[in-house]
Amino acid sequence: MGITVATEQSPPKPNTKRLPGTSGVAVNDRFLRACRREPVDCTPIWLMRQAGRYMAEYRRLREKHTILEIIKTPDLAVEVTLQPINAFDLDAAIIFADILPPLEAMGLSLEFIRGEGPVIHNPLRVAADVAALSVPDPRESLNFTLEAIRLVQRELAGRVPLIGFSGAPFTLASYAIEGGATRSFVLTKSLMYNQPEVWHELMDKLATMVGDYLKAQAEAGAQVLQLFDSWAGALGPADYRRYVLPYSRRVIQTTRSSGVPIIHFGTGTSGMLETLKEVGGDVIGVDWRINLADAWRRLGDDVAIQGNLDPVALFAPLPELERHVADILSQADGRPGHIFNLGHGILPQTPVEHVAALVDMVHEQSQVAHDSQNVKRKT
Ligand code: CP3
């Protein structure tokens, strides 16, 4: 399955145009158009964690390097960022990095342990730990990712837009406090309820760090920013509003001056979509636990939505996968502000040929709905 950038042989698709001075390289802007809720020729698609272990190219590189080595070596980060772009007809690239290196830059000791996931060796447990956290300039402490963004943009030459990202303050706080993944969030919520002043000091530092980091990524060339609050759904709406919302909102306000669209993603958030909207992203990312038409009814038409295929649907036989795609597209109903994605990251065991098939299904199946919407708009 090759990428379908326009060449001398194939005329550009409607949402591709040639960049001045780049011989034959087409610009695919349907993802940027969808972020701005503008009409598109078909629904754009990219996949969270699209660079990763389900791809043989990635696994080969991981035999020689740890994930942190790849992230901190811009040439390797560029190579991995481009692997899925070269393999599939995706409409956006996402810079290869992780949400946790900013915690390392702030003074925590981070390690990815095979089979276990990320571990913080010195998690935050008492007020003095939070007081000791620094808020360094991301242009120095995380320059490897900024450099990778600059290099990827040179390689992409406008083929598809590039997404920069950061973890949101709450999701980062949960790793910093728990020291790794958690089901109950008992340490995180205990700190929040028992020492609210310490919690607010931590969230304040994280919001400053994350806001600066996202802004620096936009300055380096990221055209869209995604804020991953993967675990926001662990909180009820009232706690989210009191302990999290002001900080995520501040992050988004900080990045506003860079003028790039912001995607605000969380899982398990169907119980508090209206509250999430107050945070202020241009696009809201939702998981598969909600019907997209319901999500739009609650969010209103002035926001774009990203989602929401269950990542496990990629393990289904192709006709079943096709039904899932048709359902999601019919819920989106040709609205210009839909970005197709999974409801959470792609799983390492995912059959790679189903990923290729999914991307093509979304493009092909969605054309009809967009054609008829575009005709309606003109008449
Ligand atoms: O989307 C992309 O392709 C860009 C790269 C990216 C990675 N992590 C690479 C990665 C992105 C956007 C992330 C985000 C991330 N990282 C999140 C938020 C999204 C989500 O899935 O909720 C979170 C919570 C993390 C933290 C993290 N990093 C965990 C829990 C793990 C281990 C779990 C696992 O899948 O093994 C990682 C490691 C990681 N980050 C891998 C990749 C490709 C796999 C590590 C490997 O190569 O061994």
163-192 pLDDT, tens per residue? 999 999 999 999 999 999 999 999 999 999
Given this model, what pLDDT does residue 4 score?
Answer: 37
* Cα three-residue angle 305-307-313, rounded to 5 degrees: 165
Which residues are bridge partners to 165 per DSSP?
Answer: 226
Give catalytic status of residue 175 as yes or no.
Answer: yes
72-118 pLDDT, tens per residue? 999 999 999 999 999 999 999 999 999 999 999 999 999 999 989 99
Centre of ligand 1 from the C-alpha of residue 222, in Å: 19
314-352 pLDDT, tens per residue? 999 999 999 999 999 999 999 989 999 999 999 999 999
C-alpha to C-alpha distance for 218 and 139, rounded to whole angstroms? 12
Give the model's confidence band at 292: pLDDT under 50 very low, under 70 low, under 90 confident, else very high.
very high
C-alpha to C-alpha distance for 214 and 370, rounded to whole angstroms? 32
Max Cα–Cα distance, the chain, nearest Å: 65
Give catalytic status of residue 377 as yes or no.
Answer: no
Centre of ligand 1 from the C-alpha of residue 96, in Å: 9
Name 219's Cβ contacts closer than 8 Å, sequence gap at least 6.
146, 258
Set 54, 58, 159, 175: catalytic member:
175
Give the model's confidence band at 374: pLDDT under 50 very low, under 70 low, under 90 confident, else very high.
confident
Residue 144 near residue 152, CB atoms below 8 Å: no
Pocket test for ligand 1, best of 99, 152, 188, 224 (most atoms within 8 A of CB): 99
Name 114's Cβ contacts closer than 8 Å, sequence gap at least 6.
none
90 CB within 6 A, ligand 1:
no
State yes or no: pLDDT of 5 exceeds 50. no
Closest CA to 105 of 70, 57, 53, 140: 140
Give the model's confidence band at 6: pLDDT under 50 very low, under 70 low, under 90 confident, else very high.
very low
Give catalytic status of residue 53 as yes or no.
Answer: yes
Given this model, what pLDDT does residue 20 score?
Answer: 46
pTM for this entry: 0.94
| Ligand 1 atom at minimum distance from 58 CA | 47
State yes or no: pLDDT of 14 exceeds 90. no
| Ligand 1 atom at minimum distance from 49 CA | 1
Question: Strands of 262-266's sheet, edge to edge?
Answer: 93-94, 162-167, 224-229, 262-266, 283-285, 304-309, 338-342
First to last CA, the chain: 37
Give catalytic status of residue 49 as yes or no.
Answer: yes
State yes or no: pLDDT of 71 exceeds 70. yes
Centre of ligand 1 from the C-alpha of residue 259, in Å: 27
233 CB within 6 A, ligand 1:
no
Residue nearest to atom 5 of ligand 1 (CA): 96
185 CB within 6 A, ligand 1:
no
Q: Find the range with the poorest average confidence among 23-32, 128-137, 220-229, 330-339.
A: 23-32
288 CB within 6 A, ligand 1:
no
